[in-house]
Each structure stands twice: as C-alpha cells, then as structure tokens.
Amino acid sequence: MDVSKIRNLALVGQSGSGKTSLAEAMLFTARAIPSPGKVDNGSSTLDFEPEEIKRHISISTAFHSLNWKKTRIYLMDTPGDDNFLTETKMALRVADNVLFTINAVDPVKPQMQKIWSMVKDLGLPIIMSINRIDKERADFQKSVGAIQEALGLRLVPVSLPIGMQDDFRGIVDLVQMKAFEFSADGTGKANVIDIPSDLQEEVESSRNNLIEYAAESDDTLLEKFLENEELTPDEIISGLRQGIAKGGFVPVCCSSAQRNTASAVLDLIVKFLPSPDSRGPVPGADPRHGKEITRDPVPGAPVSGLVFKTLTDPYTGRLSILRLYSGSLRPDGTLYNSSKGISERYGQIFAMEGKAQRPLKEAGPGEIIAIAKLKETVTGNTLCDPADPIVYPFVELPRPILTYALRPKSRADEEKITQVLGRLQEEDPAIEVRRDQQTKELLLSGNGQIHIDATIEKMARKFGVQAELALPRIPYRETIKKERKGVIYRHKKQTGGAGQFAEVHFDITPMPRGKGFEFEESLVGMNVPRNFVPGVEKGINEAMQSGPVAGYPVVDVKVRFYDGKSHEVDSSEIAFKIASMHCFRKGVLEASPTLLEPIMKLTVVVPDSAVGDIIGDINSRRGKVIGMEPGQGRQTIVALVPQAEIQRYALDLNAMTAGSGTFTVEEYQYEEVPPNLAEKIISQSKREKA
C-alpha cells in the first residue's frame, strides 16, 4: 500500500471518556466490524479479555484497522486507568498520531493530565475529541475552556455541536461550513442540513478563528489572510495540517459514540493527521558502534520495526506486536533481533483485529502487525534486516508502586507459579516478580490494586494457577548498641567414643550503620589450632542469619576472636562452629541488642491544595520531610518513612488526592525501631515461630 495512505494512531483518554465506544463506532462506520460492541454489556470487539469485561475498563492495548476514504487507519485503543498507563505509554512510543478523547461531562481528571503529560513529552500530532456530548451535563464550550486552562493548550474547534445532551443531533463542520444531522439509530448515517440560525454567530466566530490559525502556519497563507483574501477549504486543511504537525495547536471536535458521529472523526484523521512518510526519517542507533542512524519510512528501505507489546497464550504461545518503521515484510523469513544480537526465524504475519488475527501477504512502513512464536524476542526489542541493523530506543517503564507476597494455594500451584509469572511478565512488563532473599517470600509488584488483582485473575484463567495475596513481611534486622568484651562459651559433649570440645573467646563491637560484618582473628599462642578458625567464622555467619532477639539477620557488628581452648582428641571444626554460634548469640544478648527497620525515600508529587494533608499524613506514619520543591500548581515532597508504614501507600495516596497524586519509593537506609514498637514486633515474631 502507498505509505501516504496510511495513518496509525493511539486512542487515549481518561477512564470513562468513551474512548473504546468511539473506536467501536469508527470500526462499524467503516464496515470493519458488523456491529458496534458495547463495553457495558461485554460485547466490545476491543475490550474482550474477561478481566476487562468484568470491570468495564480497558486493561490492555487492543488493535484493529479500517479503511476510510482510500486510507488504511491502524487503531491502538489504550487504557485510561492509572493501573494500566504503562500500556498507554508503550503504544504512544510507536504511534505517529494521537486521538485524545475528553469526557464532555467531566473533562479534567487526574488521569487525563497524566496521559497528556506522556503525549506532550513525545510531541505527537493530536486531534482532541470532546466525547459523550449527548450525555447529561455535557457542555462543549465549557469542556474546551477547562482543557485550555488545565493544560495550557491552544485549542482550535473544527466542529461545533448542534444541540447538547439529550438534544444533540449533529455537528457543524467549520472547514467545509456544512451542517450534518446524524441518524438517531446509531448507524452513522448523516444528512446535510442548513446551519441552524441560533448557531450562525458562533459558527462565524469559530470559523474566523480557525482560518486565522490555519493561516499562521504558512507564510503564503498568512500573507493572503492579511490581505483579506478568502482561503479555500484545501488551503485551510493544508494550513491546519502544518500547524498540527508542528504542535502549534490542537484541533478539537465534538463526538458521540451512541449517536455515532464517527464518520466526522474519521474524516479529520484522514485530512489532518500525517502519514508515516510525512513524519520523516526515523532515528535509531547502529548496534555495532552506537552512532545515531536513521531509516526512511519507505517500502524500499531495509526492513525494521519495534516490538512494543507481547501477548502470551498457553496454547498458541507468544505473539509479538510490531510497529514497522521501514521496508516491506512478507511471511516466512529471518529477522535480526539487534537488541539481543540474535537471528529469529518467523512464519506467518498477521493484522490484529481485536482478539482475532488475519493473515497478511505483506506489510510496510506505519503498519501495526503481529508475528507468532518468536523464540527470544521480547517487548522493547528491535527487529531488522540482518544485513543493515538498527536499534530503536524503547520507553522507560515506571517502577511498580504496590507489592504483595504470593502464597500458592497448593503444592502443584507452588511448582508452576514462578514459570507462569515469567510468562505474564512477557505480556505485561509493568509487573515485577522477585524472591526476597531475607524473608524467602515470592513478591509481586504492580501499578495498583486493580493491576495486581487482574494479574492474579489472569494467572488463574490462563494457566490454572491459584494464589492468595498477603502484605509482605518487613525485612527487619538486628544489631547491637554496646561493645561486649570477653564473651566466652564452652561447648562440651560426651556421647561415648569421641566427644566434642571447643571454647571460644570473643569481643563483640557495634559497627557504623550499613557496614555489615567484620571478623578479626587475633589469636596468640596455640590454645586454638589455626585450622579451626574457618569453623569459627562459619559458625558466626550462620548465627547471624537468625538473631537471638526475634530471628532476624544480625548486621553491623565486628567479632574479634582472640582466644579459646581445644582438646587434642575431641576438638574439631564442627565443635568450634557450634561453640561460635552460641558465643555470638550470647554476646549479642549482652550488648544491648535492638531491632532495625528499613527506611524508604518517598517522593510524592501532589497539587498545591493537598500539600498540608500529605505532610500531616507523612508525620503520622513516623516519617520525616527532608525537602520540598514547588512546580506549576504542584509540589514535590521528599520524605524518609519506615517501610512498614507505607506498604499500601498507593491506595492511601489515591484516596487522599482523588487520584491526582503520584509517588516513587526507593530503599534508603536502616534505622532503629522505637522501643514500644520493637516489643510488639519481637512478640509477633516469637508467636509465629511457636
């Protein structure tokens, strides 16, 4: 296909903006699907996973394509919920354009602003659609004003609604200066009507505004405009296309999935948004020396593309979703994975159509396709011509913010769970799986409660593995506060035949926080043969794994082994190991032992209005604010807070800020637990061991 006749775009918008319903209407209007599915009753073509149907939200990016006005349009329907914005970020990485849907009833929500931040950082051409214009309390002009104020955008209306809420029946196209009334049956049929008289003044004003924006994008058009010459519709479209591509302004239209005004939105996509070839050469790097190189988005260039999503299925295996940047790809061949330096054989290539796949004979620049059963390729990898390699950069994924311990429900589940989680990670790189070395728990981290729950449900549905969630154990540690010199322990055991004998003398000293463990052998004379010293160090190391206070690892201590006694027959390395373990525990208990807890560095970004509440909440969590930095309507608060106090902070912050707050957390240091809390922790640990 002619590359100039291709458009690909990410549909983005906050949850509840009607983005998926609008996409369904677009597919139906273009006859890509027989009927528009509905999110509410689970019949959607794009929200087809059981976890999506249950919650009535998009969880994973879905793909489909359609033909409109001799142009092939590839749609990527992305999630709008905070829990799944990593999916949105990955789709935006490969999109040429964005259709940004706004809820006309409630236009400015925290999710909308987070998604806008992603789009803005990438500098993508945008069409903004004020959607759900037929709903109660919807208001087009108020929505436009609210968006302009919240995001600081230059919005240019290219259509106006005829009627509002229950009375909405059509639009005025400000480019063509025509009014269209859409059929109430949702078929998308539109009849040309006269522009309503009560809209004439608003239409005239908006039309002049539109022409002015179009003219300022092109010097020739601007000169014509300033000389009061009338711009033709084609000149207006040309000027608007240039302005949109440069990011000078954002065209905004009105839409309704229920009334099905999709044809008007499709017209705007074809008219205003750039094709892959008009976006220019695609930058990447030469994997051999790292220098920047580019690929021209034309069929004759060496083939290259970026895998930005992976789907896994226990029966059909792995499906790699690829954005082609250059060259032509046909079934059955070899591609070079330049990210890993390996070759990959592949068979059939597919077009994605919701949960179905359609075999393709050929694909070219700008197209979104799927390749089945690649063995080594994962999300973020570049595939290209082996003779002319290139690597495309991928997005930096956000760190997970909520962690749970997984408890398999059966022995069979326990044997399979690690492998299954690895498969799920291939599909969703936003989840993180690790084994805590201290607590031995299997930990699952994600971007929120719904994200974690959906992962557990998917694990059970796809792979038959059941698991329960629990808050992770806090990895407390033990240490000492005082020096204890001359700690002596004698191990003596006689059981018939050879016995066991060993005596060790230790000095035990606290070390600075974070210094770990130091062993010093300073024996004088031959009371203890030197071949027993390794047994002494082994005994101490083993004793440190489970401290005498509450069974947590002991850290930040120095042990000086300066004397002891041995028996020429009954002494052995094992006897000295046992004596050392007991001597160390005895010494710790005599050196003012204490518990340490992990302290996290918490960075919270919230609106100015929430700063007081957040600081008060941090104080109530035994936290300490160490820095604040003002921003544009927002504040960044940096604090040190015990890990035990913020295990569910993702949920708490969301509740405190109505979803507008974000945070990151990282390990910082260990500090002493307050005595009153230490007593409770020690008691709890002893009960668990009992």
CA distance 291 to 79: 35
| pLDDT-based confidence at residue 546 (cuts at 50, 70, 90) | very high
**443-495 pLDDT tens trace:** 999 999 999 999 999 999 999 999 999 999 999 999 999 999 999 999 998 77
Can you list the pairs that 212-217 forms with residues at least 24 positions away whose Cβ atoms lie under 8 Å? Answer: 213/154, 213/156, 213/239, 213/240, 213/243, 213/248, 213/249, 214/238, 214/239, 214/240, 214/243, 215/239, 216/243, 216/248, 217/242, 217/243, 217/246, 217/248
Q: State pLDDT tens for residues 552-571.
A: 999 999 999 999 999 988 99
DSSP string computed for 124-179: --EEEEEE-TTSTT--HHHHHHHHHHHH---EEESEEEES-GGG--EEEETTTTEE
Per-residue pLDDT averaged across 419-429, rounded?
A: 92
| pLDDT value of position 687 | 85
Q: Is 162 exposed, middle or buried (0-12, 13-18, 19+ CB in 10 A)?
A: buried
Tell me the range of 62-66, 113-117, 236-240, 353-357 where mean pLDDT is highest: 62-66
Residue 344 DSSP class: E
Poorest-pLDDT segment among 19-23, 81-85, 245-249, 462-466: 245-249
pLDDT higher than 70, residue 594: yes
Strand segments, DSSP code E, in 416-556 are 432-435, 442-446, 467-470, 477-480, 484-493, 500-510, 517-521
Q: What's the CA gap between 59 and 256, in Å, rounded?
A: 22
Residue in 84, 473, 468, 36 with CA at minimum distance from that of residue 259 = 36
Structural domains of the chain ordered from first start:
3-279 (3.40.50.300), 282-384 (2.40.30.10), 402-470 (3.30.70.870), 478-591 (3.30.230.10), 595-688 (3.30.70.240)
What pLDDT, on the 0 to 100 scale, is given for residue 227? 75
Q: What is the per-residue pLDDT for 1?
A: 66
pTM (two decimals):
0.89
Q: Give the angle subtended at the CA of 195 by the CAs of 190 and 199, to the nearest 5°.
A: 125
Mean per-residue pLDDT, 327-331: 96
Question: What's the mean pLDDT in 187-194?
Answer: 91
For 390-432, the DSSP string reads -B---PPPPPP-EEEEEEESSHHHHHHHHHHHHHHHHH-TT-E
Question: What local confidence, expressed as pLDDT, does residue 499 receive?
Answer: 86
pLDDT-above-70 percentage for the chain = 99
Region 180-186: mean pLDDT is 91
Please, which pLDDT band fits residue 213 given cuts at 50, 70 and 90?
confident
CA 596 remoteness from chain centre = 32
State the pLDDT at residue 497. Answer: 67
d(CA 237, CA 247): 15
Give strand pairing partners of 469.
406
The pLDDT of residue 324:
97
Report the C-alpha gap between 358 and 352 in whole angstroms.
7
pLDDT in tens, 217-272: 877 888 777 777 778 888 888 888 888 888 888 999 999 998 999 999 999 999 99
Question: Is the predicted pLDDT of residue 516 greater than 80, yes or no?
Answer: yes
Residue linked to tokens 């948004």: 273
Tell me which amino acid residue 381 is. Answer: N
The sign one gets for the Cα dihedral 328, 329, 331, 336 is: positive
Query: At a CB cut-off of 8 Å and minimum separation 6, what does 103 contact?
Result: 13, 14, 16, 17, 18, 109, 131, 132
Task: Report pLDDT for 629.
Answer: 92
pLDDT at residue 496, rounded to an integer: 66
Alpha-carbon distances, residue 484 vs 210, 391, 505, 533 (angstroms): 82, 59, 11, 21
Find the angle CA(582)-CA(586)-CA(589) to the nearest 5 degrees: 145
| Residue 168 pLDDT | 93
pLDDT of residue 260: 94
Give the Cα separation of 430 and 612 in Å (integer). 31
pLDDT digits (tens, 9 = 90+) for 361-374: 999 999 999 999 89
State percent of the chain over pLDDT 90. 77
* pLDDT confidence of residue 530: 93
Is the model's pLDDT at 690 over the cut of 80?
Answer: no
- 494: tokens are 């006689």
Pick from 121-125, 189-193, 226-230, 306-310 the range whose average pLDDT is largest.
306-310
